[in-house]
Amino acid sequence: MGGVRSTDERSNETVARAPDGRETVELTKHHGLGNDFLVALEPDRNLTSADAKQWCDRRTGIGADGLIQARRVAGDADTRWTMMLWNADGGRAEISGNGIRCLGQAIGRSTSVEREQTIVITTDAGERNLTLYPVPGDTWLVRAGMGAASTGPGGSAMWSEVGVEVTAQEGVDIGNPHLVALVGDDTVFTAADMARIGPIIEAEYPGGINVHLIRIVDRNHIDLKVWERGVGVTQACGSGACAAAWAAHRMGLVEPEITVTMPGGSATVELTGSEVFLTGPATYVGSIVLG
C-alpha cells in the first residue's frame, strides 16, 4: 500500500503525488450506524475491485465494509454524481443505503454545503435523490430516496438446518437482493448468530443475497439483524432496513413509517406508493492519503 499520511483536508483537493512521483489517492472514511465506507471523490484514476479488497481489509488495510468512487456528472456542478460501490470482498454492489448517505456527506463536506440541499446520485440500481441536512460537527442527517421495493428471490428452506424457527419470510428487491425472515420468539432472535446463519442461507442463492432476521417491537418499530452479501455481519444495513420495513408492512405487521433498530443504531423508513425513503445519520471519521 506504500506510504500513508493522515490529513484534515477536504476530499475535493487536487490529488497529490508521492515524493517518488507515484500517484496518490485521497479517501475519506464515514459510517452510517457503524456500517463504514471509504469514499474517493474524483480520484485521478479509476479504482478497482482489487483496491476495495486491499483497502477494506481490517488487518492489512484501512478497514471498511465498502469502497465508493464518485464523479461529478459533466455540466451539473456539485448536484449530480455517479457512484461505483464495491463490497469489502471486492464484489461490485448495486446500492447501499448507508453507503449512499455516507457519500452524500462526503460530497457535502467537499463542496462546503451549509444548508439543506438535494443532490442526485446515479448508481448501478438507478438514480437516487439525497437530501443533506448539514450541521456543525461530524454527524449529519441524510434522507435517501431508495427507489421502489418489489418481491425478490424466493424463501430459504434451510432455516431448520440453522436452528432458527421463522414464522414468515419474504424475498425483497430494492435494487439489490434481500431475504427477510420474521422470528416470533424473542429468545431465538436474541441468540441468533448471523455469522453462522448468514453464509449457510446465502449459499442457496447463486448470486448471493443479504440475509436478515427481524422481530416486531410494535407497529412503528422493528429490530433487525444483518448478514451482508460480500461483507458478512455488519452493524447496520440501510437497504436491509428498507427491505425489512417493506416486508413487515407487506405482512400487515407495521405502519408505513417505522423505526428500524440494528446493532449500530436506528434509522427511519418511510414507505410510499412509489418509493422507499431512508433517513439516518452519516458520520465523518477522517481522511487518509494512500500513495
* pLDDT one-digit tens code per residue, 155-183: 999 999 999 999 999 999 999 999 999 99
Q: At residue 21, does pLDDT exceed 90?
A: no
Whole-model pTM: value is 0.90
| Residue pair 146/105 in contact by the 8 Å Cβ criterion | no
pLDDT digits (tens, 9 = 90+) for 135-160: 999 999 999 999 999 999 999 999 99
What is the CA angle 244-245-249, rounded to 5?
Answer: 115
Q: At residue 202, does pLDDT exceed 50?
A: yes
Locate the domains of the chain by residue range: 4-146+281-290, 150-274
Q: At residue 82, does pLDDT exceed 80?
A: yes
- Banded model confidence at residue 76, pLDDT cuts 50, 70, 90: confident
pLDDT of residue 75: 75
pLDDT of residue 52: 98
Looking at the chain, the whole-number percentage of residues with pLDDT higher than 90 is: 89
Q: Give the DSSP H/E element, type plus range, for residue 55.
A: helix 49-56
- Banded model confidence at residue 78, pLDDT cuts 50, 70, 90: confident
- Banded model confidence at residue 4, pLDDT cuts 50, 70, 90: very low
What span, in angstroms and rounded, lies between the C-alpha atoms of 143 and 203? 33
Q: Which residues pair with 200 in a beta bridge?
A: none
Q: At residue 1, does pLDDT exceed 50?
A: no
Alpha-carbon dihedral angle through residues 278, 279, 281, 287, given to the nearest 10 degrees: 50
| φ and ψ of 100, to 5 deg | -70, -30
| Residue pair 238/97 in contact by the 8 Å Cβ criterion | yes
CATH of span 4-146+281-290: 3.10.310.10
pLDDT of residue 8: 35
pLDDT of residue 10: 33
What span, in angstroms and rounded, lies between the C-alpha atoms of 261 and 241? 8
Q: Is the dihedral of CA 76, 78, 79, 85 positive or negative?
A: positive
| DSSP codes of every residue in 248-288 | HHHTT-S-SEEEEEETTEEEEEEE-SS-EEEEEEEEEEEEE
Q: At residue 287, does pLDDT exceed 80?
A: yes
- Banded model confidence at residue 291, pLDDT cuts 50, 70, 90: confident
**Mean pLDDT for the stretch of residues 15-38:** 80
Q: At residue 259, does pLDDT exceed 60?
A: yes
**Does 4-146+281-290 match 150-274 in CATH topology?**
yes
Select from 3.40.640.10, 3.40.140.10, 3.10.310.10, 1.25.40.340 the CATH code of 150-274: 3.10.310.10
Q: At residue 284, does pLDDT exceed 80?
A: yes
Q: At residue 12, does pLDDT exceed 90?
A: no
Q: At residue 18, does pLDDT exceed 60?
A: no
Q: Which of 26-30, 75-79, 270-274 has the lowest mean pLDDT?
A: 75-79
Mean pLDDT in the chain?
Answer: 92
Task: Give CA separation, 50 vs 47, 88, 102, 123, in Å.
Answer: 8, 10, 21, 20
**Mean pLDDT for the stretch of residues 25-47:** 97
pLDDT of residue 275: 96
